[in-house]
Amino acid sequence: MRHDQIREGRLSGNRSTQIAHYLSSMEADHKIASADLFVDMAHLAMLSRQELIGDDHAKLLAAALLRMYTDGIPKEAFDERFEDIHAGIEGELIAEVGKEAGGRLHLARSRNDEVATCLRIRVREDILRILTSLSSLRGVLIHLAEEHSGTVMPGFTHLQHAQPTTLAHHLLAYEEAFSRDAERLSDAYRRVNRSPLGAAAFASTGFPIDRDLTKKLLGFDELSGNSMDAVSGRDFALETLSALTIMMTAVSRFCEELILWSSVFVRFVDLDDMYCSTSSIMPQKKNPDCAEIMRGHAGTVAGAFQAAVICVKGLPMSYNRDLQTLTPHLWNGISHASASIEILSGMIQTAVFNRERMLEESDKGFSTATELADTLVREYGLPFRTAHNIVGRAVRSGEITLATVEEAGHEMAGISLLEKGLTEERIRRALDPSEVVAAKNVPGGPAEGVIRDAIRLRSRVLADDNEMIIMRERTIKMAEEELVSMMRRMAGE
């Protein structure tokens, strides 16, 4: 019969099921169980190297850990009679190899540095997975931008028609936003990937451990320095959730536009049926439910971040059990953000954009008026504010024609634009959405040549980001292989 071996010395009696459940972190610990196995292996390898554990005991423990690595952690380790998975795995080891050997693994270690290490291992894996999904999404956006570099559409400010742009320009705006999200997560990874192992409860240990060895075996780049901060710092979790909250804000904005664009009012896009639902009563309905749920989960992730911040804001140094309540918020935020990015990528990739409808709307609401004002400045020598006022007064009359612009010129500035050479044909060309877009040929603009340059640049940035992800994944994989190989040698295999 398994039992909580940690309580045996200091505490008496058994807990009620209610209290055991209340204190247990097992539900959240499923996500770090495999990480805990790696931490046990690395700690055992270090104890053996430092001659802090005998070869016979190390051999038994290595063989038992390898069995869990190969066959999976026994279900009994997740029983809530143990407060957490760390105690659960230790209990299984003691049951398998005996207390004489199994009771030695926790030498020079606390659950405090153990859980902090496990969390960082899992979070770095999650960051790399989300970065990979972000790369896929960014790749889809860049590909669609190539396809739609000449697709003219209305651009909006205040949700009002503003100036014509292209769908490529619009999509690349989101690609750059998601690229910055990738930068934030990649930068957070550097601070996540630091090893707390060896900090023990908070004051380190008097045993001659080798923290650099466990750092290397677990694929960490650096050590967490101060041992108090190492066990109690959760800013790596806050930083990750913060970056994901910002990312999901961009996701939510994109979803808001897809919801509007797919409406019968707008008809800019048709989302694939896979990402939509229908009504239980209205047979004609096609609702953009994935986009709506995703927009809602932006709040879920932001809520997880806020809850995590509140959890730690009043805690004194160093470790406090309150930190256990932060972990479910961390997993919740990561889970919803990760799923959202993967689904958004597919939703965009399968969407069908209505080029004709976008072009039809591109000059509505006098959205090309700015280009006419610019034309009056460039070709007829007017100050911009004068040109702005003249075109604004023409718009106020309800139409932009040579007659209304000429009248506005007399009224607003006392000038004749006819005498300056303005013609109906020049006004028509200035108000043509395609001409307007072509004129915006400075870096960052929607002109087709500029967009082609932007696509080449964004593709290079994406390729560099993908190479970084591969490099980090390779480092972790190599560390795991080395660690398992050491266990096999220790176990005599």
What burial class does residue 10 get, using C-beta atoms within 10 Å of its C-beta: 0-12 exposed, 13-18 middle, 19+ buried? exposed
Closest C-alpha among 132, 126, 120, 130 to residue 35: 120
Q: How many CB atoms lie within 10 A of CB 172?
A: 25
d(CA 205, CA 225): 14
Q: Other CB atoms closer than 10 Å to residue 71's CB: what's the count?
A: 8
Three-state DSSP state, 445: coil
Angstrom distance (rounded) from CA 319 to CA 239 = 19
Catalytic: 279?
yes
Contacts of 276 (CB under 8 A, 6+ apart): 286, 287, 288, 289, 290
Other CB atoms within a 10 A radius of the CB of residue 421 amount to: 9
User: Is the backbone of residue 213 left (phi > 0), alpha (psi -120 to 50) or beta?
Assistant: alpha
| Contact present, 48 and 55 (Cβ < 8 Å) | yes
∠ CA 186-192-197, nearest 5°, is 155
CA 29, 32, 37, 43 torsion: positive or negative?
Answer: negative
Tell me the three state secondary structure of residue 269: strand
Q: Is 149 a catalytic residue?
A: no
Secondary structure element (H or E) that encloses residue 270, with its range:
strand 269-270
Distance CA 69, CA 445 (A): 54
Q: Which of 263, 279, 416, 485 is catalytic?
A: 279
Distance CA 38, CA 309 (A): 29
What tokens does 65 get?
A: 């850990």
- Given a contact cutoff of 8 angstroms between Cβ atoms, the answer to whether 443 and 450 are in contact is yes
CA distance 472 to 135: 15
Catalytically annotated residues: 158, 279
